[in-house]
Amino acid sequence: MTYLDSNIILKVVDSFKTDYKVQLSQLHAAYIDKSNVSRTPAAEQYQHLTGDWKVYGDSLFDYVTIQLDERLPYKSVQEIHPSKIVVDIFGVTSNTNWIGQLSSATEIKNAWYEQPEDDLMRVFIELRHQQHWGYSIFYDDSDKLTIRVKRQPRALSLKNMVIAVDAGHGGTNIGATGVTTKINEKDYTLLIAKELEKVLRQKKAKVVMTRVNDTTLSMPERIRFLRQQHPDLLISIHLNSSPKDTTRGVSTYYRYIGFRPLSIAILHSMTGAGLNEFGNVGSFNFSLSGLTDFPGCLVEVAFLSNRNGEKKILNPGFRKQVAQRIAGGVEYFLKNL
Ligand SMILES: [Zn+2]
C-alpha cells in the first residue's frame, strides 16, 4: 500500500505467518510484515482529533502540517488534471476550524479536507503545476503530520537538475542471466548506468549514483541513500527476463500516475532508436517506484532471455546509444512541461 514513517501506531487484530493484520480505521485494514513492528502496551485512546493546520513554504519546499495527538497511519495517492496529492489519515476525526495559508507556499494552490468516514480524514493538496515533483510524508517530534511538497524547479533544463541513477542489483544479487552467455544483469545495469552518468554530466546535470561498483545494496539502503540526496528525478536501470525466449523489447515503469510522463518520454525516446516496444507499465509495485519523494522511472532496457536482446546488451555501442536515448527522453520530458 505505502511506506510509513517510523513509530506509527497500528492496532494489531490478527496474525498470519509473517504478517500482522492491522485495523487502520473501522472500514480499512492492512497487512504489515512482523519484522517491521514492535509491540507496545495497549493504547488507551482509540479516538483521535485533528488540531492546527498550517500551509506554508520555506526556501526549498512547501508544507502542509496537521497537528495530531498520535502518529497515525496514512496513505496517499496522486491525481492528475488537475494535479493533486490526496492523503488519507486513518483513525482521526477533524476538529479543525480553519486552515491558515501563507503566501510563502508557492507550489500548493489549494489545501482542504473532507471527512468521508467518521474515522478517516482525507486531505487534498492541489498543485499549481501540472507535473508532480514528489512529496514526503512524515511526523515531527510533536506528532505533527507533515506533507512536504517538492516545487517545480525554476529552470527546466538538465543543467539545473540533480538526477539519481540506480544500477539494478549488484554484489550477491546478480539479477537475471543471459540466455546464451549467462552474463549477469548486475554487471550490465552498472555499465549502462555509468554510460548514462557520463552523458548526463556532459549535459551539465548533477548525477548521484546508488552504486558505482559491484556491491550488494538492499532496497532499504538504496531508499535511505536516495532520500538523503534529494534528487529531482530518479532513473533505475534493469534488464528484463521472461520464461518465453521470444519476449522482447524495451519497457519503462512507474507506480504513481503523476510520475508517468517521465516514463513515457524515456520510452518514446528509446523506441525512436528502432527498439521494439514492450510497453509502458503503470501501478508497478517495485520498491524504488514506491517512493513518492521525486518522479522516478524504471527502465528495462532489453530482455536478457531473448537472444537478440542479449546480443545488443553485449554491444558497447548499443549501451552508449541507450544512455543517450534515456538522457534525450529526460530532456524531452523537461522541454514539454
Ligand atoms: Zn532487474
135-151 pLDDT tens trace = 999 999 999 999 999 99
What is the per-residue pLDDT across 6-32, written as a single tens digit (0 to 9) for each? 999 999 999 999 999 999 999 999 999
pLDDT of residue 15: 97
Residue 282 pLDDT level (bands cut at 50, 70, 90) = very high
Element (H, E) at 223: helix 219-229
C-alpha 242 to ligand 1 mean position (Å): 12
Q: Which residues make Cβ contacts (< 8 Å) with residue 97, sequence separation at least 6?
A: none
For ligand 1, the distance from its centroid to the CA atom of residue 186, given in whole angstroms, is: 8
How many angstroms separate the alpha carbon of residue 33 from the centre of ligand 1? 23
Ligand 1 midpoint to CA 43 (Å): 42
Model confidence pLDDT, tens digit, residues 148-166: 999 999 999 999 999 999 9
Cβ neighbours of 144 (radius 10 Å):
17
Mean pLDDT taken over the chain: 96
Q: Tell me the HSE value of 31 on the side-chain side, using a 13 A CA sphere.
A: 6
Using a CB cutoff of 5 Å, list residues around ligand 1, an ion: 168, 175, 238
Structure confidence by residue, pLDDT tens digits, 84-143: 999 999 999 999 889 999 999 999 999 999 999 999 999 999 999 999 999 999 999 999
What distance in angstroms lies between residue 201's CA and the mean position of ligand 1's atoms? 24
Gap from CA of 257 to ligand 1 centroid (Å): 22
Q: Is 46's pLDDT higher than 80?
A: no
Q: Give residue 239 CA to ligand 1 midpoint distance, Å.
A: 5
Nearest 10 degrees: Cα torsion 80, 81, 85, 86: -100
Alpha carbon of 83 to ligand 1 centroid (Å):
31
Distance 202 CA to ligand 1 centre (A): 27
What distances in angstroms separate CA 315 from CA 214, 262, 304, 309, one per listed residue?
20, 26, 13, 10
How remote is the CA of residue 168 from the centroid of ligand 1, in Å? 6
Question: Using the 8-state DSSP alphabet, how is residue 157 labeled?
Answer: S
- Quickly state the pLDDT bin for 1 (edges 50, 70, 90): confident
CA distance 11 to 23: 5
| Closest of 200, 242, 237, 230 to residue 294, by C-alpha | 230
